[in-house]
Amino acid sequence: MMLSIVIPVHNGGESFYKCLQSLECYGSLASEVIIVVDGGTDNSLALARTTAAKVIALPEAGGPARARNIGASAASGDILFFMDADVTLKPDTLKQIIEAFQAKPEIDALIGSYDDAPGAENFLSQYKNLFHHYTHQTGCEDASTFWGACGAVRRDIFLKVDGFNEAYRYPSIEDIEFGYRLKRAGHRILLCKAVQVKHLKRWEPFSLLRAEIFYRAIPWTELLWRDRQFVNDLNLKTSSRVSLILTFSILVLLLLSFWWNSSLIGVPILATVLFVINLSVYQFFYFKKGLWFAIKTIFWHWLYFLYGGVAFAIGTIRYHLGYQSASTPVSLP
């Protein structure tokens, strides 16, 4: 079974350099590596050309969806493994992918997860990437979608469903939309929790909120309404939906307290319920990074439910008022 690695990169920087280093160390099981340099102004193209990879240089950026499709069209392997330019392979990543497809011929695609040792050391990066790791490690193995940072698919199936939707011009939910089409066509996607990569991206408050709200939550909401994929898995688990309701209820009570002090009575009750529902998340953070780290994550975790709820409302309104076509994703700055 031959495996082709496809990597889109746009101004990859130091993370891309580390990605290439990991390929040199752990990429020998791949029959080929295809790097698609999607425009950009840094030295990503020069870096790519120092490797043995097949390099495709695009004159201007068209988004990771188009770059992945171009790379896939140039690939010859039975399996296409898509990875981002800001992740690094682990020693057994490719071996586990190949073995999974060989052991389970009924699966058409698989996704992995970030590992539990994020590359960036600041608190927000550690929190966000560890939360992603936790979400995938506790998800259903019969996956409901695809993931472009660490995802593999049989090449013939990829071509059959027309690859990624190139209307997504920026890093967004093009991989989720692709996964929904895979599932709708009757193909099986496996969440292989042992398949892991290290994420190197450094998150800061502005970059995180912009990406979470405008690049993911709003277009994902529109996609959910388009495909009616309200599954109980990953970020859409029932516990997350209940937590969202509780978080907004707490906010409403706090606002009402300016007029009715008695409203504050319900705040600690709802906060306790919210904390208990998500206790396993905070225990995970505690065991990984200690008590103080776990305490600090509570604010960001509850904020996640708040901005997720706002984004869901905006996306729902956009969809039902017809601002967003049922088949055309939104392009964001």
Residue 259, pLDDT score: 84
**Which spans in 147-217 are helix H?**
155-160, 174-184, 205-210
pLDDT of residue 189: 96
Query: In DSSP terms, which residues pair with 12 in a beta bridge?
Result: none
pLDDT of residue 69: 97
- 86 and 41 within one domain: yes
Domain identity same for 211 and 318: yes
132 and 249: one domain?
no
Asked if 84 and 219 sit in the same domain, the reply is no
Identify whether residues 154 and 249 lie together within a single domain: no
- b/e per residue 168-195 (b: at least 16 CB within 10 A): bbbbbbbbbbbbbbbbeeebebbbbeeb
Phi-psi region of 125 (alpha: psi -120 to 50; beta: other; left: phi over 0): alpha
Residues 6+ apart with CB under 8 A from 142: 188, 189, 190, 191
Sheet containing 79-83: order of strands: 54-58, 32-38, 3-9, 79-83, 150-154, 109-114, 189-199, 87-89
* Helix/strand/coil for 323: coil
> How many distinct structural domains can be found in the chain?
2
Taking a C-beta distance cutoff of 8 angstroms, is the pair 145, 234 a contact? yes
Residue type, 179: G
Does residue 14 sit in the same domain as residue 139? Answer: yes
Q: What are phi and psi of 268, to 5 degrees?
A: -65, -30
pLDDT score recorded for residue 332: 34
By residue range, what is the domain housing residue 156?
Answer: 3-203
Predicted local distance difference test score (pLDDT) of residue 326? 37
- Which of these, 302, 315, 288, 307, lies nearest to 116 by C-alpha position? 288
Select from 154, 179, 203 the last residue of a domain: 203
Q: Which of 58, 53, 1, 54 is nearest to 22 (CA)?
A: 53
Tens place of pLDDT for every residue, the chain, 333 residues?
Answer: 899 999 999 999 999 999 999 999 999 999 999 999 999 999 999 999 999 999 999 999 999 999 999 999 999 999 999 999 999 999 999 999 999 999 999 999 999 999 999 999 999 999 999 999 999 999 889 998 999 999 999 999 999 999 999 988 888 899 999 999 999 999 999 999 999 999 999 999 999 999 999 998 898 888 888 877 666 555 567 788 889 899 989 988 888 888 888 778 888 899 999 999 999 999 999 999 999 999 999 999 999 999 988 998 898 888 888 765 434 443 333
Query: Would you put residue 19 in left (φ > 0), alpha (ψ -120 to 50) or beta?
Result: alpha
